[in-house]
Amino acid sequence: MDMYKENNHDNPPAHPFSKGGMRGFLKPLIVALWLSLLFLPFKGIKAAIVFFVIASAILVSAVFLSGYQNKFALAIKTLRVTVQESGLFSRKQIFVLRYACLLSLFVMPLFARDYFLDVAILVGIYVILALGLNVVVGFTGLLNLGFVAFYALGAYSYALLNTRFGLGFWTALPFSVGLSAIAGFLLAFPALRLRGDYLAIVTLGFGEITRLILNNWDSLTMGPNGISGISAPRIFSLSLGKLSYFYYLVLFFVLITFFITKRVYSSKIGRAWVAIREDEIASSIMGINTTMYKLYAFAFGAFWAGLAGAIFAGKMQFVSPESFTFMESVLILCMVIIGGLGSIPGVILGAFILVLLPEMLREIQLYRMLALGAGLVLLMVFRPQGLFGGRGVSFRS
């Protein structure tokens, strides 16, 4: 250990601007050039050149400062220890602050307008979806590009059971989540021996097959016209169609999803998933039944997608194939990657960002997707492990 420390001390990591790290200098310039080219059609060549100069200065400065990130991290850690030892923020105060934030979620419908409630409901639905996909991608390390198929199965199963058989939300909910979980379990069988890109292609194909079936089976799904007249959830005689009531329903399911996924992650099953993600061969040698735990991961993640689909159908009271395209799968995957693969708080933050940011940039509608895409590129370049991610998780190939 001492020898390792001495060698490590004698050969410190190269700074991005050092002789061996000139690639770190070129990377921000390439990113700035790419952003300025995207900016060119909107404001002209002069504005694009100015934008390139400003973006280059900012990104180069960021790369330069990244060489001292260890010193910054040590300073922040020292400050945090000092604050803890000083008793400025006790555990009791942190506990109170945490539950004050939770309380603010419960009282928000009393003050927020319907628009904000509508966006908050959408955020909650995507949080459930992202947490479900995080089980497959983040915990187990299996790339799934067809996750929206389970979302669609949950929505359409509730829509059909409600409009054709008269079942209410709570009666149809077990069938919706059960069908999605069974579909995830069945999809896992042909995908068990596949890894990396091949697994992604299989799941992508499953998602597209599901969408095409929903779009062309007119006698059952009404094809592109979709299914309308879906009833909102009810509790006894109280309809939850009102936004403030539906908000509490979504918040309830978000808390349930968060609690269960966190508990499962800390359990024996969750540790087995993480072991498979890190090294499947070593996990198999240690006695972990990798086949069984992969089936668990697909079924468990699909379960939450079916729940989100049923909630979505009850909220919109209308479903159509246009709501379940491949781009929805990409959006949910981006939420997981941005927040940090395997990080539950990070995934929730990623869902908040990718739902709220387009809404905040709605006034500059012409530029909002440009800004969103540029932000994603910058995040992947400078922090590929995500906002809350620690050690990077790679998809096995």
- 202 shares its domain with 336: yes
The yes-or-no verdict on residue 34 having pLDDT over 90 is: no
The yes-or-no verdict on residue 182 having pLDDT over 90 is: yes
pLDDT at 390: 52
The yes-or-no verdict on residue 181 having pLDDT over 90 is: yes
The DSSP call for residue 144 is -
**Across 222-245, average pLDDT:** 88
Residue 114 is which amino acid? D
Q: Is residue 310 within 8 Å of 157, Cβ to Cβ?
A: yes
Q: Of 37-51, 79-93, 230-244, which range is least confident?
A: 79-93
Let me know if residue 123 belongs to a domain: yes
**Across 231-242, average pLDDT:** 87
CA distance 213 to 208: 9
The yes-or-no verdict on residue 6 having pLDDT over 50 is: no
pLDDT at 50: 79
Query: What range defines the domain where residue 128 resides?
Result: 113-382
The yes-or-no verdict on residue 384 having pLDDT over 50 is: yes
| 320 — pLDDT class (breaks 50, 70, 90) | very high
Q: Of 57-71, 107-121, 135-149, which range is least confident?
A: 57-71
Tell me the three state secondary structure of residue 141: coil
- 51 shares its domain with 142: no
| 85 — pLDDT class (breaks 50, 70, 90) | low
Q: What is the residue-averaged pLDDT of the chain?
A: 81
The yes-or-no verdict on residue 375 having pLDDT over 80 is: no
User: Which tens digit of pLDDT belongs to each residue from 148-177?
Assistant: 999 999 999 999 999 999 898 999 999 999
- 197 shares its domain with 269: yes
- 259 shares its domain with 313: yes
- 245 shares its domain with 347: yes
Sort strands 234-235 and 238-239 into parallel, antiparallel or unpaired: antiparallel
Indicate the pTM of the whole model: 0.78
- 141 shares its domain with 263: yes
State which of 44-58, 100-114, 187-201, 324-338 shows the largest mean pLDDT: 324-338
- 119 shares its domain with 48: no
Tell me the three state secondary structure of residue 234: strand
CA distance 187 to 161: 23
| 35 — pLDDT class (breaks 50, 70, 90) | confident
Q: How many domains, the chain? A: 2
**Across 182-205, average pLDDT:** 84
The DSSP call for residue 287 is T
CA nearest to 37, candidates 370, 392, 303, 345:
370
Q: Is residue 77 within 8 Å of 39, Cβ to Cβ?
A: no
- 62 shares its domain with 134: no
pLDDT at 318: 92
Last residue of a domain, one of 73, 100, 123: 73
| pLDDT cut 90: percent of the chain above it | 31
Q: Is residue 312 within 8 Å of 249, Cβ to Cβ?
A: no
Q: Of 261-265, 317-321, 366-370, which range is least confident?
A: 366-370
The yes-or-no verdict on residue 371 having pLDDT over 80 is: no
Last residue of a domain, one of 20, 42, 73: 73
